Copies of this chain bind each other. A is one copy, B any other.
Amino acid sequence: MADGPDIARIATLIGDPARARMLTALMAGHALTASELAVEAGITRQTASGHIARLREGGLVSTARQGRHHYIRLSGSDVAETLEALMEIVDRRGPTRTRPGPKEPEMRHARICYDHLAGALGVQLHDRLIEIGHLTADLTPTPPGLTAFDALGIDIPALQRARRPLCRACLDWSERRTHLAGGLGAALFTAFEDRAWIRRVSGTRIVEIRNPAALYEWLL
């Protein structure tokens, strides 16, 4: 009898849209910081902080402090399995799907995720970099990749010396696939922006493609 409310407690934690987006983002298996989760969930840092506290209290995530950063990850595979079970229900009988959601097509096409590209364009960039051999499947730069990044003015060795990981896979909530995050993801974004190949729409997370020809040529 008492187990009813207990599963309700856990389900309630997953049931908030912002928290569900956080947990979905954490499904990639990588630890994320509180700020990154806030961006991923589309809420402010202080709101995210409260959500994280509740998730931690409920045992769904665990946190680790490293300096002034708090890294958050799913607390175990059982949590991931539960989320997958929920996704399966959604998939099997979802009359109102999120994938072709007509809400904000531009957001789904290209947006900024913290400091790197996300959306369909972000996923495409990620896949293409691996496809043309600039990155290996586990996101390590290859010699040709180093040359190509250097041609964009990106100093890979300097990025590698930074504390931040060079490359990280970030799960895209609209595409449900990974895009490129980390120092290189951020560097590529600014490189594209400096060349006016892309531009941020001020006040939103939306990213516009200004020079598709140059962008796609670089991806050949």
Contacts and interface: CB of A to CB of B under 8 A. Distances in A.
A78 to B, nearest CB: 5
Interface of A: 1-21, 24, 41-42, 59-60, 75-76, 78-79, 81-83, 85-90, 92-99, 101, 103-104, 107, 171, 173, 205
Copies in the complex: 2
B4 A15 contact: no
Contacts of A81: 85, 171
Contact of A3 (B2, B24, B85): B24
Nearest to A41: B4
Contacts of A78: 85, 88-89, 92, 171
A204 to B, nearest CB: 10
Given A11-B11, A12-B15, A6 B59 contact: no
Contacts of A1: 21, 42, 103-104, 107, 205
